[in-house]
A and B are shown apart, each in its own frame.
Chain A
Amino acid sequence: MNDSWMRDLKTAITRLPVVPESPELLRRIHARLAADEHVILPLADPPVPVRPVWRIAAAIGLLLATGTGLWFVWPTATLTAGDIQGELRFTPATPRVGQMVEVAYRAPTILAGRNRLVLRARYRTPRGEAYQWNTQQTIAAELMRAPNGLFRASLRLPDSVVYAAFAIEDADGRIVDSNARRLWELLVHDRDGRPTFDALKQSENDLMGRNWEQGYETARQVAALYPDRVGSWSDLLFYEKLVLGESHLDSTLAAHKARLKAFHARLAPRASLTSDDLGWMLWYARSLRDSTLEQYWRDRLEREAPASPLAVQERAIAIGTRAWNDKDSVRALADLDRLWEEVGPAHGNLVNVGWSMAQRVGDSTGVVRWADHYLVMNPRDSSWIATVFTRYPALREEGMLRLRRQLQALQTRNDSRRALERTVDEQRAVDAGKARQILVALGDALVASGRTNAGLDTLRLAVQEGWDVPLFRRVAEIEGSTGDTAGALRLLGLVAADPATEGWGRDSLRRLTGASIDSAAWARLVRDGHGEMRRRLLDMAVRRGLPPAVRLEAAGGSTARLDSLSRDRVTFVAFWSRHCGPSLEELPALERLTKRLRQQGVAVVTITDERVSDDLSRFMTDQKLTFPVYADTWREASRGFSQWGTPSYFILDADGVVRFEYRELNRIPAEVAVLQ
């Protein structure tokens, strides 16, 4: 889109017609008020489904994806030995299907004294889905200490497994060696000692969401190893767009287009193709915006493999699009029901469209039916679904029932849903956070259904742990309105303790509460709030070491070390990019925050995804940005922080250990405060 077109668009936006309010509208409002009508306004945002930024796009791109691997880093047996990281070796490192594998582990100091360690795994079959949201973890083997100090075990990959990711932990799950969060991987190989296509694809899938850069490198390797598979190139294009950006495509687009034509010439004459090849051709053509070939391969896919995942997606979206145009949601839902009957849980977008259509129709039976279909494919979204239920009066009780069940489930330790990188304690903290969200949804639903006292009791449970200032305020207000002044004051003490409230909240709160308590009592409340904030936030903190010497490039090309920049201080690290919309939006707030942090003696290190250049300096000047900026020229920072995507923010304690890793700037003042 060129600049002049964008300018025209902006101009046109400013000239969009304006419909004025009318006296008649106001009259109707008064009539409804006079009739004592009540409307409960939605004062809270809907929960965001637990899914990454572009899961759906990725699912479309990789729905065909059947797997992946990391040929280029495999075998990755030689690792940095240290306090928390050991060495894991598999023999053979290139196993065939079902082959017995010997495991040897040289433990780091922190695990070396144990007699027994646990090898946990995430196994993937050729049809494993992208990301790790619904995959389960399992214990692959117990490692016993041998006389030479090595830990050993044997394992045999199940026949259906083509890829496995591993981590090692102590018997209690309190210390985890996750290979610096990269995990260890085992890919099934063919007779020629080459990782199978399915194994590589599953490695790609497993890396999604945890290391995109390696995923891209894997896609490149897949293309190198399997150049005759159209799926190799289709996925590579997908990663190129994602990782390198559209601008990079200028240099590769012509080659991709030529390759698409070559594949078309080779595959189109064949009467029989696999559904994967049909789907990949469609996706490749679509990604390259070749509408003629896209149409050709869509027709063939829908004709020759109508129940394949991508065909099902196309069919579901066609129904959804038709409903959008003809507004006949009831007919669309009936068609989607028939499609489900025919193919079942074939593709995520079938249940996405069906769930959306059922809500549009508004029939509670349909909503429940499609919620259940949706959960077949997205079991981790069960809390979200139940929360949506509570917004429908007819389904509110069912929603609350489901929320209560999920609360109960969270109280039981379930290692199968614990990520490999996560300790038992970290999982407990994650579960506690989920439980708080469920309690809030349950409390709101109870209040909405008129059971104010029960709702308030539930919300009180939600504010007993965690650190959610807006929630504290909300519950305090409800408590205040029901006469529980003491409870309200205690929560307002928490609010006032948060540094983010300084300058706007503290004085107001003090003014508000001064009616019933004197200033000394208020000061005690706030002091208690500080103690509570410290306890709660540190409960949620992580403890993750960084490599010893992370290099950054400073202005002028000189090299700086992260630990030198920190100099034993609490350190705020921000990854940002001026080519990233969310980053750009937050730059003014980032500037304000870093000014404040520097005044408090906090070290500030911001890292961009480009070299420090005159152009970048001009950008900083134009945007009035004064924080120090460094380039991750050697990618050591990104790797060290396991960081992907901007903006991302980290807080290191004075020992240089990562304690908080969030994307929300407004939490950072409190988190810094408890570390100082």
Chain B
Amino acid sequence: MPVLEPSIPIKNERSDDAALVERLSSGDLEALDALFHRHATALLNLARRVTGSAVDAEDVVQDLFVGLPVAVRRYSERGSFGAWLRTVTVRLALDRVRRGTRRREVALDHAGEQHAASETPEVRWDLERAIAALPHDLRVVFVLKDVEGFSHAEIGRLVGIRTGTSEVRLHRAMRALRRALGGGT
């Protein structure tokens, strides 16, 4: 019986991930650690901004990596593994919010305070607070589009809304941020 493996072209910077995915698929949990160290920070911050909660974000990333050894066997995307992870993370985060299984709310503006020393200007703190204060629907679209770089089409698919709805929400998010941050007309 043939083994139905992922048919991803393996090359360049993706090769590390691809090798790790292959190892993880065959049950090597050390590969999971390596993937965790490569991606967890970015995914943690993504989940934090989507859920609006650092605690929920940790739960999301936990769920992701607990489910990964099985899910990775069905990974057969054409794009990069990192992008696939980000997408699944967003789905998990949104699902968590939709199902109301969030544990408790932690304002984003406190979440990163321990790292403030290395960061710069005041506007950053305003932005973090302003993002946290956005209504959930607007915040998700803003974070996914302008912070994480998803396209409106991708956001539409992830959130379960039309592309145009995503655009409208981004526009509203921008207006709300402009009001919150001041400046600009």
Contact = CB atoms under 8 A, between A and B. Distances in A.
A9 interface: yes
B22 interface: no
A38 B58 CA distance: 17
Contacts of A26: 33, 36, 40, 65
Contacts of B71: 40-41, 43
B98 A360 contact: yes
Contact of B162 (A48, A329, A509): A48
Contacts of A21: 36-37, 40-41, 44, 61
A39 B66 contact: yes
B151 A19 contact: no
B88 A48 contact: no
B1 A485 contact: yes
Contact of B157 (A5, A8, A48, A321): A48
B100 A41 contact: no
A56 to B, nearest CB: 8
B124 A29 contact: no
A29 B68 CA distance: 11
Interface in B130-185: 135-136, 146-147, 151-153, 156-165, 167-168, 174-175, 177-178, 181, 183-185
Interface string B16-58: 0000000000000100110011001100110010000010011
A2 B184 contact: yes
Contacts of B57: 19
B37 to A, nearest CB: 7
A617 to B, nearest CB: 26
A1 B74 contact: no
Given A12-B124, A477-B74, A512-B2, A581 B136 contact: no
B71 to A, nearest CB: 4
Nearest to B161: A48
Given A25-B58, A362-B99, A483-B1, A13 B147 contact: yes
Interface in A492-529: 504-505, 508-509, 511-516
Given A1-B178, A28-B62, A473-B76, A52 B162 contact: yes
A25 B61 contact: yes
B112 A18 contact: yes
A473 B160 CA distance: 22
Nearest to B126: A12
Contacts of B112: 16-19
A12 B68 CA distance: 33
Nearest to A664: B153
Contacts of A585: 151-153
B152 A359 contact: no
A360 B168 contact: no
Interface residues of B, number: 86
Contacts, number: 218
Count class of interface residues, chain A: 35 or more
Contact of B74 (A10, A25, A28, A474): A474
Nearest to B29: A33
A476 interface: yes
Interface in A25-53: 25-26, 28-30, 32-33, 37-43, 45-49, 51-53
Contacts of A51: 162
A590 B48 CA distance: 34
A41 B4 contact: no
Contacts of A508: 7-9
Contact of B158 (A41, A45, A509, A516): A45
Given A25-B62, A42-B95, A327-B105, A359 B100 contact: yes
A340 B151 CA distance: 37
B177 A509 contact: no
A24 B70 CA distance: 22
A505 B77 CA distance: 10
Contacts of A516: 1-2
A271 to B, nearest CB: 36
Interface string B93-107: 001011111000100
Nearest to B109: A17
B62 A29 contact: yes
* Most chain B CB neighbours (cut-off 10 Å) among A12, A481, A516: A12
A19 B177 contact: no
A13 B41 contact: no
Nearest to A492: B4
Contacts of B136: 324
A329 B153 CA distance: 30
A1 B3 contact: no
A417 B160 CA distance: 24
A40 B40 CA distance: 19
Contacts of A20: 41, 44
A298 B98 CA distance: 30
Contact of A38 (B70, B74, B185): B70
A476 B128 CA distance: 44
18 contacts: A6-B184, A9-B181, A13-B146, A15-B121, A17-B111, A17-B124, A25-B40, A33-B29, A38-B67, A47-B160, A48-B161, A54-B164, A481-B73, A489-B2, A504-B7, A513-B2, A515-B1, A582-B164
Question: Which 4 pairs between the two chains have the least Cβ-Cβ distance?
Answer: A53-B164, A17-B112, A5-B184, A508-B7
Interface of B: 1-5, 7-9, 29, 32-33, 36-37, 40-41, 44-45, 48, 54, 57-58, 61-71, 73-74, 76, 78, 88, 91-92, 95, 97-101, 105, 111-113, 115-116, 119-121, 123-124, 126-128, 135-136, 146-147, 151-153, 156-165, 167-168, 174-175, 177-178, 181, 183-185
Given A2-B185, A12-B123, A28-B62, 9 more contacts: A1-B175, A1-B185, A16-B128, A19-B111, A25-B40, A41-B92, A321-B135, A474-B74, A582-B164
